[in-house]
Each structure stands twice: as structure tokens, then as C-alpha cells.
Structure 1
Amino acid sequence: MLVKQVRKWNGIGRTDLVCEAPGVTDLDVRAATPADFDFLLDMLVEAVNWLPERNWSREQILANPALAHYVAGWMQPTDFGLLAVDTAGRPVGAAWFRYLTAADPGYGYVSDDVPELTIGVVENWRGRGVGRALLRAVLDAARARGISTVSLSVERANFAARLYAAEGFRTVESFEDADTMVRTLRPPERANSRARSTAPPARSTAQPRAPSASVDGVRRTMPGRRRQAPRQGPRPQPGG
């Protein structure tokens, strides 16, 4: 079965979102809470172990600072995320953002003011559209918070990379086997209001901040800031 409909968290309340993938399963998407730490850790385990030959345990991940910092101390004041839950209320996937710093960068670090995304989907729910639905909903939540740019890191062999590209992410830095990708978020209603306007909008207000210049600036001024940890870093799970 593929996801037909979920209820999308828009930063204020839930609204219906009909996914493009056909199917019959209904899901609900709710905001993550401090009580969801254990499930987020489970989803980080799923994200890390997307390759069959990987088998990192919860204990190993929590003992590895390069991985643990995606969930340690959840939830911090600036953390936010969503859970997809089935009709019985059981969580089946999660997507969350966390701000990491130059002093403790994530695999997809761009700058201190750009939150990094992690996605995980329960194994037997993959391939049903859960990941795509979560991705769209959590991007809407970020947009509602006024966030203009988000980032993630994905290993090139992970077919989730194609999902992110299809959803508007672009690669800004490449490593041996992984890419850092960013997505610029247009403020709500910006496109519609601009289309209704008869006068050309001012450049400073009509266009969202492009991440390329700031991203490139960060790359040039902060060489070596990326962790040289094993490549078993947190990689968002495919869920398209």
C-alpha cells in the first residue's frame, strides 16, 4: 500500500495533504515532542543503517559524538520535527531539524543559522510515500517558522538522494561518497502575491535568499570544519 493522504503539520495546525503517489493508507502527521526521544533515536538508527551491511546499535550511535548530536538532549529550544503515525497512533517515521554549530558540525553542516534535516522511516513502511510526505510537511513547518534555507547530507548511493533532488534540494558540496544539499524555502504566499502584482517586485524583497553565496562563503572561510568520522553518518532514509 502507498500513502494516499496524510494530515500535514503546517506550523499552526493540521491540514489535509493528498500525496501524488496512489494508494489507500491514511496517516496523521503530528509535531514531535520531548517524549519522542526514543523513537527519534530509533529513526536515527534506521537512517544510519540504510545499507544492509551496516548494523549500528543505539548504544554505538549514542557513543559516537558525530552521530549522537542529532538527538542528544532532545528536545532543545530550537529543535523541531514531525512524526508520521498510522491510524492506530503508532509512529512509522520522523523528520526533524536541529541547528548544529561550526564547533560541532553535522555531516550536512552549512552554517550556524541553517538547520540540518534527518529523516527515518520504519523499515516495513518504506517505499509507500511516507518519506516524501514527511519531507514536504517538515519543509512547510520550517517555512512557517520563517526559515529560508535548510540542509541535509546524503550518501550518493542512497536512492533518497533522488527524492531530495526531485523536491528541490541542490548539491552545494560533494565528498568521496556523499553530498551536502540545501533547499531554499519561499515564504508562504510569496509566489501568489507576486503573480497578482502588476508592478515588478523589489529585488530585495521578492526573491528568497539564495544559499549559494553564503554557503560558498562558509566553505571558504571554514576549511576542515567537517567531521572526519566514518561515513556511517546519519543519512535520511528513502521514503518516496
Structure 2
Amino acid sequence: MPTEVQWSPASGVGDLVFARGLARRTMEPYYTHHGLMWRDEDFDAGWHWRENYGLYVAGQQVGFLSLSVSQDGLALYVRELHLLEGARGRGHGGCILRAVFAEARRRHLAAVRLTVFKNNPAQRLYARSGFATVGEEGCFWQMECPVPV
């Protein structure tokens, strides 16, 4: 059984630098594969309007999570979810998604949504967690899961 993942609001430049570096290391290969260009400025711009959280296991930071309410106001949108390589495959992703569902329920939102590169293996975690593909846009799948009651 995985150790529970704690999350706490990100604050300060150090959290942004950690998150940007982790997101870039994790996502740049997908960007390159699909002919897209990673830009730190774009990440930073999104950081400032999202709800950002550091993810911790036993007091050690293992990743970060960025959320927002969807434009239609019906869903909690997972904008970013990144774990350090050593924290992957240990059940932390499922633990985090369960906490995101609980947060959506607390906010009285009907669903959780996210977008994932079509070739990103994380989509298997999302499918196991109840997400279904509801659309596609270029190299991305749009996925959604009703909030369990």
C-alpha cells in the first residue's frame, strides 16, 4: 500500500522553479516527439492563474499538482500532475487522483477533467482511475471522469 501523498499550496519562486524544471524534464520529450516547442514563459504564465500544490511523501517533495475550475464551471481540471521519476509506479498517482476527486466533491463539481499526450503512459493510470476519453485535439486526448459519490 502506498504512503499517503500530502499536498500543500505552492508559494514563492522556489516552488515555481521546482515545478517548471520537473514539468520540463517530464514533458519535453513529448513536445519534441510531436514537433512542439517547450517554452518556460508559457509554463510560468499558466502557473500564475492556476491553483498549485507541492506533493509530499514522508515530508519529501515528490512532485506538484496544478488545478483550475473548467471554463464551464462544471469540473475540476487537472492542468499539471508531475512526479519525480523515483516516485512513479508506487501508487502515488492514484492516491493524488482520489484526493482530487474528493476536492471536486467538496466544491460540488460534477467531474474531473484532464488532457494528456496520446503517447503518454500516464493515460493508463487515468483509465484505471475511471477516466474515459471524451475528445481529442491533435496529439492530445481529452479525458473526464464523473466525481464518484
Pairwise TM-score range, normalised by the shorter structure: 0.7 to 0.9
1:197-236 residue pairs with structure 2 within 5 A? none
The unaligned stretches of length 5 or more in structure 2 are none
Question: What is the match of residue 62 of structure 2?
Answer: 92
Is the partner of 1:171 in helix, strand or coil?
strand
Q: Is the 8 A contact 1:82 1:134 kept in 2?
A: no
In the superposition, relative to structure 1, how do residues 62 and 86 fare at CA in structure 2: closer, same or farther (>3 Å)?
same
One-letter identity of the residue aligned with 2:56: V
Contact 1:46–1:123 (CA under 8 A) maintained in structure 2: no
Corresponding residue number in structure 2 for 1:116: 77
Match of 2:8 among 21, 31, 37: 31
Percent of aligned pairs with the same amino acid:
23
Q: How far apart, CA to CA, are the structure 1 residues paired with 2:114 and 2:63?
A: 17
Higher strand share: 2
- Conserved? CA contact 2:101–2:148, under 8 Å: no
With normalisation by structure 1, the TM-score equals: 0.50
More helix by share: 2
Q: Secondary structure, in 3 states, of the residue corresponding to 1:136?
A: helix
8 Å Cα contact 1:153/1:181 also seen in 2: yes
Deviation at 1:86, TM superposition (A): 3.2
Task: Name the amino acid aligned to 1:98.
Answer: S
Q: TM-score normalised to the size of structure 2?
A: 0.75
Greater C-alpha radius of gyration: 1
2:46 pairs, out of 60, 65, 70, with: 70
Task: Give the counterpart letter for 2:67 in structure 1.
Answer: F
Number of residue equivalences: 142
Post-superposition, which runs of at least 4 consecutive aligned residues in structure 1 deviate over 6 A? none
d(CA) in 1 for partners of 2:20 and 2:61? 13
